[in-house]
């Protein structure tokens, strides 16, 4: 089976690459490794081969400051909360998670991996073929 990344996910990653071309990609990822495969994860392909999650390394400037992934996480959160863009299912970063539960308010993430080195973003099934531009100011949007 051919694995394919959600078009919304690849669009977001492309915009991040365009805005931060020198970023560190060490903690990047999309398809589940054997560790992911053992449990339920959006990094694991579904029956049709769709993968609906990406990890983006925290370091957007490769070793140099500033550390602004938290700001980017918050812009993604705000966009989702505004309902102008409904493609993101949830975001995990730096020990916190947000989703439509609690209306996109950050809450403590209790999973084993606190996601300190990377931001995790999961996308909805409905967004599989939706590669529209993300309107986020840090990523060239409005």
Identify which of residues 30 and 134 has a Cβ nearer to Zn ion in the complex.
30
| Residue whose token pair is 């609690």 | 102
CA distances 3 to 44, 47, 48, Å, are 9, 10, 8
Subset of residues 77 to 106 that bind Zn ion, contact rule: CB under 5 A: none
- Comparing every residue's Cβ against Zn ion, the nearest one is 120
Kindly list the distances between the CA atom of residue 74 and the CA atoms of 23, 30, 127, 138, in Å, as whole numbers in the listed order.
19, 21, 20, 11
Looking at beta carbons only, is 77 or 120 nearer to Zn ion?
Answer: 120
Give CA–CA dist 70/103, Å, rounded. 18
Indicate whether 57 belongs to the interface with Zn ion (CB under 5 A). Answer: no
Complex with Zn ion: residue 117 or 135, whichever CB lies closer: 117
Query: Closest distance between Zn ion and the C-beta of residue 17, in Å?
Result: 17
Residue 58 makes contact with Zn ion by CB under 5 A: no
Asked if residue 31 lies in contact with residue 51, where contact means CB atoms within 8 angstroms, the answer is yes
Binding Zn ion by CB under 5 A: which of 69, 120, 123, 136? 120
Residue selected from 23, 50, 55, 109 as contacting Zn ion according to rule CB under 5 A: 55
CA gap 20, 37 in Å, rounded? 30
User: Interface residues with Zn ion (CB under 5 A)?
Assistant: 55, 120
């Amino acid at each position: 089976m051919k694995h394919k990344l959600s078009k919304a996910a690849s669009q977001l990653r492309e915009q991040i690459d365009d805005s931060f071309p020198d970023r560190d990609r060490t903690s990047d990822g999309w398809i589940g490794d054997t560790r992911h495969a053992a449990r339920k994860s959006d990094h694991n392909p579904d029956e049709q081969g769709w993968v609906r999650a990406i990890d983006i390394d925290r370091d957007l400037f490769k070793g140099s400051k500033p550390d602004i992934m938290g700001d980017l996480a918050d812009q993604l959160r705000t966009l989702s909360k505004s309902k102008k863009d409904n493609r993101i299912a949830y975001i995990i970063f730096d020990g916190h998670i947000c989703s439509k539960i609690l209306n996109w308010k950050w809450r403590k993430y209790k999973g084993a991996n606190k996601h300190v080195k990377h931001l995790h973003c999961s996308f909805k099934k409905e967004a599989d073929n939706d590669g529209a531009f993300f309107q986020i100011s840090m990523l060239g949007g409005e």
